[in-house]
Structure 1
Amino acid sequence: MPERIQATLKQYFGYDELLPGQLEVMQHLLAGKSTAAVFPTGGGKSLCYQLPALLLPGVTVVVSPLIALMKDQIDALTARGIAARRLDSTLSADEYRTVMEQLRDGTLRMLYVAPERFNNERFREAISRVRVSLFAVDEAHCLSEWGHNFRPDYLKLAGFARDIESERVLALTATATPPVLEDICRIFAIAPECAVRTGFYRPNLQLITTPVSPGQRDSLLLKELESHPPGATIVYVTLQKSAEAVADKLAAAGWPARAYHAGMKDEQRTAVQEWFMASDDAVVVATIAFGMGVDKADIRYVYHYNPPKSLENYAQEIGRAGRDGQPSRCHLLFCRDDLNVLENFIYGDTPEENSLQGLIQELFTGEPEFDLALHELSARHDIRPLVLRTLLTYLELDGLLEGGTPFYSEYKFKPLLSSGEILSRFEGERKTFLEGVFRQAKKGRSWLGLDPGVAANALHCPRDRVIRALDWLGEQGMLEVKAAGVRHRYRRLQTPDDRDALATSLHQRLLKREQAEMGRLRQVLDLAALQDCRSAALAAHFGETLKAPCGHCSGCGGEASRLPEAQKVVIPSGLTDKLAPLLAEKGDVLASPRTIARFLCGVSSPRLSRAKLSGHALFGALAEVPFGQVMSWAQSLETAPAELDALE
């Protein structure tokens, strides 16, 4: 091991040796080469950028999707005397100022941000002025359209890294299949020899699957907990209401169990996470919102009360067990009926083709340069926000649109000194300029509002100058500044010859993604039904071939059994009569079989939410019925004369 890496490893992190793959990644980075690292969960990915950050000049920018993950890592780094901070929405104005001052004066070694932070024009302007030696992207599989958790903001990170002139990039993930790794390397221009993949298989994890019916599951989970020594445990569920219900049942049976999901308040989630981290036998019943930010080595058990939505999710979730290398049990309680809920989520993402036609007409009509409020656009065309951002990204990648820097349409500020005191600190043109800015502000009850674009036009100056002035006054403690009303800039590069054809093409692309997600779900079903070694099959999915079966999974132990068929669910005969008055009243909203199916399966959309139908008694009435079956039933409503007469 090179001397400076070894000395830094010992001095700051207290280790004598590196884990497999870490040295190779660090040497590539220190040689100035962009690199990819595919390590199993708990394989030491974070050290691959934390240690080089101490040996490189400038700042290391770490892009991470979870605030909890950032906080835990920063707390650990700060305890070691390493200058690391984060920028996120939870920071106060004073905390934000402190971080920006440390970034500018060069005392900051690592800055953690979410990918969405690059949509913030204030941040992009600030980061472009400092030297970024390393741009590290955690959960890098999110930037691949073939990955299991594609996020449009991730796909743009390569462009952001180029824009801020980052000297090297490190892409990290635990769940990249070979095609996804190829995609990551292509997007970030990483040479094949700089893609470092260590073994996926972890021999201390025992993979168990037990087929269950809905009525058996609670008693089996309790029996499992009782038959093994106490230990830190995660029980994964699909729905927030399931997290609450299962946690209550376990607590009633005497187990130290608490729920965790995205619907809880921040302080509640933080309290549960801190309780879990400090306990040797805590049981957290959680949705997938729990896990990525939890760096706890001694998790002994991971139960899947509901199936994961993909093998990648499964690998990520079981990977949180046994990071200390000790034996840990990962038990999937597989109920086929649960697949309906996961399928409904998948089908609910695909908008109607006429929604896409309306979107394309709006985007390719009018001035060539325009700006949008995405939540308003989403509501207008009944397209979920994440799907809308994906569509806009497609149009950028296809060369039809070019995205510009998002901006805030409104700034608010509250003077912490009188305007006279502030202006007395300036002379000449600067003082005149600030007087003009203050005159453009509109007085509110306690804040003053300012549209930077309007102010810039009135003062005949660039918009950026107005923003920089407000930010600087805020950083100096003269104003408290807030920004709101984010809008996204776009420039039309081409106008399609046939807009309807483009809408149809995009719809087909989304349908293809829908089928790909359904395929991922089928892979989970195939693994659960497998009679052979589960560990070997899962490793093969991620490009690793085991030399021999693991010897301790359900397949190797002969415990695998045939999965029962899903229970046949019949749509109630009286549902048509119950639905008829609602269709008569809200026919403009429930205007197609897919929208009706969404509503009855409990899958919301912007239009359903705006019409306040998510709280209706029939919303989710058929949540246990396959989406395709409900949509076929809804299509029959259009052709049944008696039912149509009832709606008039």
Structure 2
Amino acid sequence: MSSRIQTALHHYFGFTELRPGQQAVMQHLLDGHSATAVFPTGGGKSLCYQLPALLLPGVTLVVSPLIALMKDQIDALTARGISACRLDSSLTADEYRKVVQQLKSGELRLLYVAPERFNNERFRAMLKPIQIALFAVDEAHCISEWGHNFRPDYLKLAGFARQFGAERILALTATATPAVLEDICRLFEIKPDCAVSTGFYRPNLNIETTVVEASERDRVLLEAISRNPPGPVIVYVTLQKTAEAVAQRLADAGLPARAYHAGLKDDIRGEVQEWFMRASHAIVVATIAFGMGVDKANIRAVYHYNLPKSLENYSQEIGRAGRDGAPSVCQMLVCPDDLNVLENFVYGDTPDKAALYGLIDELFAQEPSFDVSLYTLSARHDIRPLVLRTLLTYLELAGYLEGGTPFYADYKFKPLQSSAEILSRFKGEHRNFLAALFRHAVKGRIWFSIDPTEAAVALQTTRDRIVQALEWLGEQQLLEVKVAGIRHRFQRMRQPDTTEALASELYQRLIKREDAEIHRLQQILDLVTLDGCQSNALAQHFGEQREAPCGHCSWCRRGSSELPPRRAQTISDTFWQEVSAVRQEQTEILMQPRLLSRFLCGITSPRLSRSKLTRHPLFGSLENVSFMTVLSQAQKSI
């Protein structure tokens, strides 16, 4: 270990030794190279950027989708005397100003942001003069289109890192298959010999797969929890209502159990997480919303009440058990009927062909330079926001469109001093400009509203000058500034031969992604029925080769398992008559087979939400029936 790393490690973090892989990653960064860290959950990825941030001149920009992780890490760093902050929508105006001041003054060592923050023109303008010593990207597998959690915003991060002159990049993930790791290194321009992977096999995790009937699942879970030694436990479920129901059943049995899911208020989720972190014996029944950034070393068991979505999700979730190295249980209760709900989520993302055709027609009917509201596009064409962003990213990558800096159409400001007091600080042209700007703003009861583009035309200046003036006045605490109405700029680079052909090509690409997600679900079942060591198979999925059986998975203890067939699914004529009646009432919306199928399977869409059909008694009435079965019935009934 180099003396610089050794000194900082002991001084700031109180450690004398590094975990496997950390030394190699840090040394690559300190030598001026970009690097990748592929460590298992709990393997110490965050130290790989936290420590170099203290040794490199400039700020370390940490991009992470996990707000809870940001908060926890910042609290821990601040307690050690390290200057670290985050920028997100939860900050007050005063908190935002303080972060900006620390960044501009050079006082800040680490700044945490979500990938979506780069859509903010204020943020991008603020970064331009800043020295970014290290651009760290957490959950880097999201950059790969064929990864298990693709996020289109991630595809643009490599470009942003170059645009802002980042001196080196660190890509971090716990779940990269060899193909995804190759994508990460290619897109972030990381040399293969700077990709450090420490392996996925954990000898203290006892992997169990137990085939159960749905009616027996609660009993099996209770018996498993009672049989194992007391300790912190996570039970993963698919649906929010399942989390509530299972937590209640465990509590009724005298166990300390609470539910956690995205549908709870922020303060309740925070309370549950803090309770779990403090307790020596606590059970959280949660959707996948729980666990990201939860650093609790002594979790003794992770149960999957419902099937996980993929081997990547499964590996990440069981990786939260036994970080202290002590034996821990990872038990999956396998019920093939769970596939219906999981498949429905996958199929529900794919828009109707007609919706996709309408979107492409609209985009290529625009002027060569145009801007759009993604919210409006999503609602008008009934395409989920994440799917819409993915489609636009595809169009950019294929060279049809080029995205520009997003901007806010609406600015509001509240003077913190009188206009006369503010103007008295300026002379000449600056004073005249601000006076004209204030006169152009429309006064409400408390806030003034202004459209910077419109104001720029009226004042014969540039939009950038108006935005910069408002930002500066906000930083000086002369105004409180709010923004809204984000719009995305695009430049059309080339026209497709036909919009129909392009829409068809994009539709087939979405179907290909749909097939890939369904295949991931099948990989879970293949692991359950595997005639071989399950621990080794899981490690091999992530590129780690092991020869000797682990001795502590279900196959090693009792051999392979068989799955019962999924239950035959039928929809009664009586029920479909009821559906037909509702369809006649909502002809404009529910006549499309895929949208009707979403409605019956309980899958939201912009159009269903806007029409308030998600509150209808029949919404979700077939959530336990295969989406493709419902779609087939809907197509026959046209």
- TM-score bucket of the superposed structures, by smaller chain: over 0.9
* Paired residues of 2:528 and 2:561 also in contact (CA < 8 A): no
Following superposition of structure 1 onto structure 2, how do residues 144-543 of structure 1 map, counting pairs within 5 Å?
Answer: 144-543=144-543
Stretch deviating more after TM superposition (207-216 or 570-579): 570-579
Matched letter for residue 489 of structure 1? R
Aligned partner of residue 259 in structure 1, secondary structure: strand
Shift in Å at residue 559 of structure 1? 5.6
User: Which residue pairs with 2:89 in the alignment?
Assistant: 89
What is the CA-CA distance between 1:213 and the residue it aligns to? Answer: 0.9
> Alignment partner of 1:208: what SS?
strand
- Cα deviation code 1:396-450 (max 9, x no counterpart): 0000001111111111111111111111111111111111111111001111111
Indicate conservation of the 8 Å contact 1:210/1:560, yes or no.
no
Q: Which amino acid aligns with 1:326?
A: A
Question: Which one-letter code corresponds to 2:577 in the other structure?
Answer: D
TM-aligned CA deviation for residue 593 of structure 1: 2.1
Q: Work out the CA distance in 2 between the residues paired with 1:460 and 1:61.
A: 37
Q: What aligned pairs does 1:65-84 form with structure 2 within 5 A after superposition?
A: 65-84=65-84
- What is the CA-CA distance between 1:303 and the residue it aligns to? 0.5
Q: Is the 8 A contact 1:204 1:328 kept in 2?
A: yes
Answer whether contact 1:569 1:625 (CA < 8 A) is retained: yes
SS at match of 1:589: helix
3-state SS in 2 of match to 1:490: strand
Whole-Å Cα distance in 2 between the matches of residues 559 and 72 of structure 1?
42
Structure 2 unpaired stretches of 5+: none
The alpha carbon displacement at 1:618 in A equals 1.3
SS in 1 for 2:556: coil
Secondary structure of the residue that 1:399 maps to in structure 2? coil
Counterpart residue identity of residue 437, structure 1: L
Matched residue type, 2:447: W
CA–CA distance in 2 between the matches of 1:82 and 1:376?
42
2:529 touches 2:561 (CA, 8 Å); kept in 1? yes
Partner of 2:42: 42
Q: CA deviation at 1:573?
A: 2.3
Asked whether 1:603 is paired with 2:577, we answer: no
Letter in 1 for 2:42: G
3-state SS of paired residue (2:302): strand
| SS of 1:557 mapped into structure 2 | helix
1:563 aligned residue: 563
Counterpart-to-counterpart distance in 1, 2:621 and 2:548: 48
Matches within 5 A, 1:108-127: 108-127=108-127
- 1: CA distance, partners of 2:479 / 2:635: 59
SS at match of 2:603: coil
Which one-letter code corresponds to 2:15 in the other structure? Y
Amino acid at match of 2:507: H
Question: Matches of 1:128 and 1:535 in 2, distance apart?
Answer: 47
1:30 and 2:30 are equivalent in the alignment:
yes
> Which stretch of structure 1 is more off in the superposition, 571-580 or 144-153?
571-580
Question: What is the aligned partner in structure 1 of residue 619 from structure 2?
Answer: 619
Shift of 1:626: 1.1
State the alpha-carbon separation in 2 of the partners of residues 110 and 418 from structure 1: 36
Structure 1 residue 514, shift from structure 2 partner: 0.3
- Residue 592 of structure 1, CA deviation: 2.5
| 1:351-373 deviation digits (Å, cap 9, x = unpaired) | 11111110011000131111111
- Any idea what SS the aligned residue of 2:199 has? coil
Alignment check: 8 A CA contact 2:261 2:287 kept: yes
Long gaps (5+) in structure 1 = 639-648
CA distance in structure 2 between the partners assigned to 1:432 and 1:275 by the alignment: 57
**Are 1:209 and 1:560, in contact at CA under 8 Å, matched by a contact in 2?**
no
- Deviation, 1:68, is 0.3
Secondary structure of the 2:399 match is: coil
Check the 8 A contact 1:360/1:503 in 2, yes or no: yes
Residue 126 of structure 1 deviates from its aligned partner by: 0.3
Opposite residue 555 of structure 1, the aligned amino acid is W
Structure 1 residue runs of 4+, over 4 Å off? none
The residue type paired with residue 8 of structure 1 is A
Give 1:560 shift.
4.2
Q: Give per-residue Cα distances to partners, 1:7-60, cap 9 Å, x unaligned.
A: 000100111111111111111111111111111111110010000000000000
1: CA distance, partners of 2:57 / 2:618: 60
Measure the CA separation in 2 of the matches of 1:95 and 1:574: 58
Structure-1 separation of matches of 2:388 and 2:492: 17
CA positional deviation for 1:245? 0.8
Paired residue secondary structure (1:170): strand
Counterparts of 1:374 and 1:163 in 2: how far apart (Å)? Answer: 24
Q: Please provide the CA RMSD for this pair.
A: 0.9
- Judge which range, 338-347 or 195-204, deviates more: 195-204
Report the Cα distance in structure 1 between the residues aligned to 2:19 and 2:364, rounded to whole angstroms: 52
Q: Which amino acid in 2 is paired with 1:513?
A: R
Distance, in Å, in 1 between the alignment partners of 2:256 and 2:95 is 36
Cα distance in 2 between the residues matched to 1:499 and 1:570 = 39
- Output one character per residue of 1:293-323: Cα deviation in whole Å (capped at 9) or x when no partner: 2111111110000011100000010011111
Shift of 1:81: 0.6
Name the counterpart of 1:644: none
Query: What SS is found at the alignment partner of 2:208?
Result: strand
Of stretches 246-255 and 139-148 in structure 1, the one that deviates more from structure 2 is 246-255
Give the TM-score of the pair, scaled to structure 2: 0.99
The Cα of 1:283 is off from its aligned counterpart by: 0.6
For residue 466 of structure 1, what is the amino acid of its counterpart? Answer: I
SS of the residue 2:496 aligns to = coil
Q: Distance in 2 between matches of 1:559 and 1:92?
A: 57
Q: What amino acid is aligned across from residue 244 of structure 1 in structure 2?
A: E
> What is the distance in 1 between the residues matched to 2:179 and 2:31?
26
Q: Distance in 1 between matches of 2:438 and 2:216?
A: 68
Letter in 2 for 1:634: A
Greater alpha carbon shift after TM alignment, 609-618 vs 501-510:
609-618
The corresponding residue for 2:574 is 574
**Quick one: distance in 2 between partners of 1:220 and 1:496?**
57
Aligned partners of 1:30 and 1:288: how far apart in 2? 35
CA drift at 1:591:
2.2
Q: Which digits, 9 at most, give the CA deviation of each residue in 1:322-345, with x for residues without a partner?
A: 111111111101110001000000
Residue 549 of structure 1 corresponds to 549
Q: Output the CA distance in 2 between the equivalents of 1:19 and 1:366.
A: 54
Q: CA deviation at 1:120?
A: 0.5
Q: Partner amino acid for 2:32?
A: G
Q: Secondary structure at the match of 1:234?
A: strand
Instruction: Tell me the SS of whatever aligns to 2:284.
Output: strand
Kept in 1: contact 2:132–2:164 (CA 8 A): yes
Per-residue deviation, residues 123-145 of structure 1 (Å, max 9, x unmatched): 01001111001000000000100
Task: Compute the displacement of 1:276 (Å).
Answer: 0.7
Distance 1:19 1:594 in 2: 50
Alpha-carbon separation, structure 2, partners of 1:283 and 1:480: 44
Distance apart, 1:547 and its partner CA: 3.0
Letter in 2 for 1:217: R
Please give the alpha-carbon distance, in whole angstroms, between the structure 2 residues aligned to 1:450 and 1:296. Answer: 48
8 Å CA contact 1:569–1:624 kept in 2: the answer is no
- What residue identity is the alignment partner of 1:623? E
Residues paired across the two proteins, number: 638
1:532 is displaced (CA, Å) by 1.9
User: What is the distance in 2 between the residues matched to 1:317 and 1:244?
Assistant: 19
- For 2:366 and 2:100, locate their aligned partners in 1 and report how far apart those are by CA, in whole Å: 39
Quote the offset at 1:181 in angstroms.
0.3
Structure-2 separation of matches of 1:587 and 1:568:
30
